[in-house]
Amino acid sequence: MITERELFRTLQAFHECAMATVSRVGQRTNLTHTQLQIMNHIHFRGLALQKEMRKLFHLTQGALSTALKDLEKQELISRTQSPVDQREWVISLSAKGEALIHEIGQPLFAQLRDLVTNNPEEVERLMESIEWFTNKFISNDV
């Protein structure tokens, strides 16, 4: 029978693998880990609210503002005021930002494509397991 310690260690190993992958991808740019996470989040969402990202990434307002200003200075994102709440900013990737994410993500997506192509059943089980765990775990107050 699996213990909670073994489960935690497996989850930790999965997290470390994901972070190491992000780090390797990030080495192809001059972006910080946080900036890369922000850009990746916006890429998959299309748009993001600054307040939501602050909570999601557990950043202070100052840390997030600094990261966003730097990305904006590099012309990788654009910020516009929310039409609903003038105090809120809507963040989107610029064409240059989209191109950068596409370029640096190619080796990773090629590896993922190979996994899906060569191991579709295992990948499907993994995705179902992650979804199950996320749904169970997120509902608990830890």
Mean pLDDT of the 28-46 span: 91
Q: Domain map of the chain by residue range?
A: 22-138
Q: How confident is the model at residue 142 (pLDDT cuts 50, 70, 90)?
A: low
SS3 92: strand
Q: Coil, strand or helix: which one is 84?
A: coil
What mean pLDDT is predicted for residues 36-64?
A: 92
pLDDT, tens only, 108-118:
889 999 999 99
Mean pLDDT for 63-80 is 95
The fraction of the chain above a pLDDT of 90, given in percent, is 61
The secondary structure of 105-132 as a DSSP string is: HHHHHHHHHHHHHH-HHHHHHHHHHHHH
3-state secondary structure 10-43: HHHHHHHHHHHHHHHHHCCCCCCHHHHHHHHHHH
Arithmetic mean of pLDDT over the chain: 91
Q: Are 37 and 23 in contact (CB under 8 A)?
A: no
Note the CATH architecture for domain 22-138.
Orthogonal Bundle (1.10)
pTM: 0.79
The pLDDT score that the predictor gives to residue 87 is 83
pLDDT digit string, tens, across residues 72-103: 999 999 999 888 888 888 999 999 999 999 99
* 89 compared with 66, residue with greater pLDDT: 66
**65/30 Cα distance (integer angstroms):** 18
